[in-house]
Amino acid sequence: MKNLMIISILFLLLTSQCKQEETVVAPQIANLIGTWRLVEPDSSYAVTLTFAYDIKNPPHDITPFLANGKSSVNTYTLRLFATLDGMISADDLVSTKVGGSPEATKAEQTYFTNLRAAVRYELTSDNNQLRLYHGGEQPHLMIYKRLK
C-alpha cells in the first residue's frame, strides 16, 4: 500500500509538470505582424507585404512567418524567418502568373529578387516603418510603412 501511494504521488508530480509551455515572442519580432506597404525605392505600385505567424511551426530562437502580399502585377506568398538580433531570410517565394505591362513586370521581378535576398530587418521606434536590407539590386534597402 505504501509503495502504491509513493508511485501515485510520483506520477502526479511528473504529469503535473508536463504542461505545454506557451510560446512567448519578443516584442521586436511580434511587431512585424501586420500589413506593410512598400514606400521606397519604388512606390508607384501598391506593393504590400503581410506577416503572420506560422502556427504549425512555433517560434524558438528563429521565428517563422507565413507572408504574402501584392506586387506590381501578381500576388505572392513566401516563408520568412526572423531572429531577435534583426536577421531575416526568405524562402519558397511563389506568385500568381498574371501578365502585366513591361514596366510593372520588371518592377515585380526586381522586388521579388530583393525580397528573396533579404538579410536584415529594422523597425523604427514607433513601429510604423519597416526597413528590409537585402543583397539584391540597388539600393539594397526596401522601406515599408505599416498599414495595419
| Average pLDDT of the segment spanning 128-133 | 96
Name the band, by pLDDT with cuts 50, 70 and 90, for residue 33: very high
Amino acid at 29: I
Q: Would you state the pLDDT for residue 134? A: 96
User: For domain 22-146, which architecture applies?
Assistant: Beta Barrel (2.40)
d(CA 69, CA 50): 6
Minimal CA–CA distance to 67: which of 45, 84, 89, 85?
A: 89
Residue with cell 506568385: 95
List of residues 6+ apart from 50 with CB closer than 8 A: 34, 35, 36, 67, 68, 69
Residues in the chain: 148
Name the band, by pLDDT with cuts 50, 70 and 90, for residue 19: very low
d(CA 83, CA 120): 9
pLDDT digits (tens, 9 = 90+) for 39-67: 999 778 999 999 998 878 766 678 899 99
Across 99-116, b (16+ Cβ under 10 Å) vs e yields eeeeebbebbebbbebbb
Name the band, by pLDDT with cuts 50, 70 and 90, for residue 105: very high
Q: What is the mean pLDDT of the chain?
A: 85
Q: Would you state the pLDDT for residue 24? A: 66
Q: Would you state the pLDDT for residue 6? A: 53
d(CA 45, CA 70): 9
Pick the range with the lowest mean pLDDT from 50-59, 67-76, 99-108.
Answer: 50-59
Compare 6 and 68 and report the one with higher pLDDT: 68
